[in-house]
Structure 1
Amino acid sequence: MSAALLVLACLLTPLGALSTWAKYEIGDTDNYVATMAPLASDPAVQGAVADAVTKEIMKQIDVGPLQGTVETFVNDAVQSFTETKAFKTAWEAANRAAHDAVQEALNNGDSDTVTIDLAPITEQVKQQLTDDGVPFGRRIPVEHTEVTVMNAQDLGNLRKGFHMLQVAGIWLPVAAALCAVAGIALAVRRRRAVTATALGMAAGAAALGAALAIGRSLTLDDLPPDVSRPAVAAVYDALTSSLRTAAWVILAVGLLVALAAWAGGRFGWWSRWGRRRA
Structure 2
Amino acid sequence: MTSRVRGALSAALIAVACLLVPFGAPAAWAAYGLADPGRYVSAMAPPAADPAVRDAMEDEVDGPLRPFVHDFARTPAFPAAWDAGNRAVHDAVLSALRDDSRREVTVDLAEVEHRLAYEHVSLDLPRTRVAVLPAAELDRLRKGYDVLEVAGFWLPVTAAALAAAGIAVAACRRRALTATALGTALGGALLGLAVAVGRRLTLTDLPDPVRRPAAGAVYDALTATLRTVSWLLVALGLTVALSCWLTGRYGSLRARRASAVPVPDPAPQPTRAQV
Q: TM-score, normalised by structure 1?
A: 0.70
Q: In 2, Cα distance between the equivalents of 1:155 and 1:226?
A: 30
Structure 1 residue identity aligned to 2:28:
T
CA contact (8 A) 1:265 1:271 kept: no
Percent identity of the aligned residues?
52
- Counterpart code for 1:243: L
Partner of 2:214: 231
Q: Superposition pairs for residues 3-152 of structure 1, below 5 Å?
A: 3-53=11-61, 56-57=62-63, 75=66, 77-104=68-95, 106-108=97-99
Deviations 1:95-154 (A, max 9, x none): 122213433454457788768888979xx9xxxxxxxxxxxxxxx9876666x6799569
8 Å Cα contact 1:26/1:32 also seen in 2? yes
SS of aligned partner of 1:228? helix
CA 1:18–1:32 in structure 2 vs 1: closer, same or farther (change >3 Å)? same
Kept after mapping to 2: 8 A contact 1:202/1:251: yes
Partner of 1:221: 204
State the number of aligned residues: 236
| 2:21–2:187 Cα contact (<8 Å) kept | yes
AA matched with 1:57 = G
**Partner of 1:259: helix, strand, or coil?**
helix
Superposition map of 1:172-211 within 5 A? 172-211=155-194
- Offset of residue 161 of structure 1: 4.4
Deviation at 1:257, TM superposition (A): 1.3
CA distance in 1 between counterparts of 2:84 and 2:252 reads 57
Larger radius of gyration: 2
Q: 1:167 aligns with which of 146, 150, 170?
A: 150
C-alpha root-mean-square deviation of aligned residues, in Å? 3.4
Kindly tell me: are residues 84 and 151 of structure 1, through their superposed partners in 2, closer, same or farther at Cα, counting changes over 3 Å? Answer: farther
- C-alpha offsets along residues 193-242 of structure 1, whole Å, 9 cap, x if unaligned? 11111111111111111111111111111112176111111111111101
- AA aligned to 2:11 is A
For the structure 1 residues 215 and 254, does the alpha-carbon distance in structure 2 shift closer, same or farther, using more than 3 Å as the test?
Answer: same
Whose helix fraction is larger, Structure 1's or Structure 2's? 1
Change (3 A) 1:14 1:269: farther
Q: Output the amino acid matched with 1:260.
A: S
SS for the counterpart of 1:57 is coil
| d(CA) in 2 for partners of 1:5, 1:270 | 31
Structure 2 gaps, min length 5: 1-8, 117-124, 256-275
Q: Which runs of 5+ in 1 are unaligned?
A: 59-73, 125-139, 273-278
- Contact 1:35/1:238, CA 8 A, preserved across alignment: yes
**Hey, what does 2:234 align to over in structure 1?**
251
